[in-house]
Amino acid sequence: MVKKRAVILTGKAGNGHLSVADAYRYWLLKWGYQAEVYDVLPQPSDQVTKLLYKVPATYRSLYRLSDKPTLSQAMVEILAPEIERKIGQLVPDYDSADIVISTHLFVHPEGKNFKVMIILDPIVHAVYFVRPRPDYYFAFWGATLFGVKKNDLNPDKIIYTGPLARPSFYEVAKHLPNERAKRQFKKSQGIPEDHLLVLVMAGSAWIFRSARYLDSLKQAFEDEKVTFVFLCGRSKGFVEEMTEEYRGVKMFKFLRWLEEGKVAQWMAMADCGLAFSLAQMSVEAGLTKLPLFIFRLIEGQEEGYREVVNGKGVGLYLPGQPADQVELFKNLLPKREVLFKKNLEAWQKELLASPEKTRATLDRILSKK
d(C-alpha 242, C-alpha 238), whole Å: 6
Cβ atoms within 10 Å, residue 342: 11
Cα 72 from chain centroid (whole Å): 23
Higher pLDDT, 166 or 150: 166
d(C-alpha 290, C-alpha 343), whole Å: 11
Res. 46 pLDDT band, cuts 50 70 90? very low
Q: What is the pLDDT of residue 52?
A: 59
Give the largest CA-CA distance in the chain: 64
Asked whether the predicted pLDDT for residue 260 surpasses 90, the reply is: yes
Higher pLDDT, 25 or 145: 25
Res. 47 pLDDT band, cuts 50 70 90? very low
| Cα→Cα distances 187→32, 181, 197, 296, Å | 41, 10, 11, 30
Which tens digits make up the pLDDT trace of 277-336? 988 899 999 999 999 999 998 877 788 899 999 999 999 999 999 999 999 999 999 999
| Cα→Cα distances 102→115, 146, 161, 166, 168, Å | 8, 21, 15, 16, 22
Which tens digits make up the pLDDT trace of 193-229? 999 999 999 976 789 999 999 999 999 999 999 999 9
Domains and CATH numbers, the chain: 5-160 (3.40.50), 167-351 (3.40.50.2000)
Over residues 24-50, the mean pLDDT reads: 83
In the chain, the amino acid numbered 299 is: E
Q: Is 101 helix (H, G, I), strand (E, B) or coil?
A: strand
Please give the share of the chain, as a percent, with pLDDT higher than 90. Answer: 73
d(C-alpha 174, C-alpha 221), whole Å: 33
Does an H or E element contain 102, and which?
strand 99-102
Q: What is the pLDDT of residue 325?
A: 98
Q: What is the pLDDT of residue 145?
A: 52
d(C-alpha 11, C-alpha 5), whole Å: 20
166 close to 267: Cβ distance less than 8 angstroms: no
Asked whether the predicted pLDDT for residue 76 surpasses 80, the reply is: yes
Q: What is the pLDDT of residue 26?
A: 95
Q: What angle do CA 231, 233, 238 make, to 5 degrees?
A: 80
| Cα→Cα distances 45→13, 181, 285, Å | 12, 45, 31
Crossing angle of the two packed helices 16-30 and 167-174, in degrees rounded to 10: 70
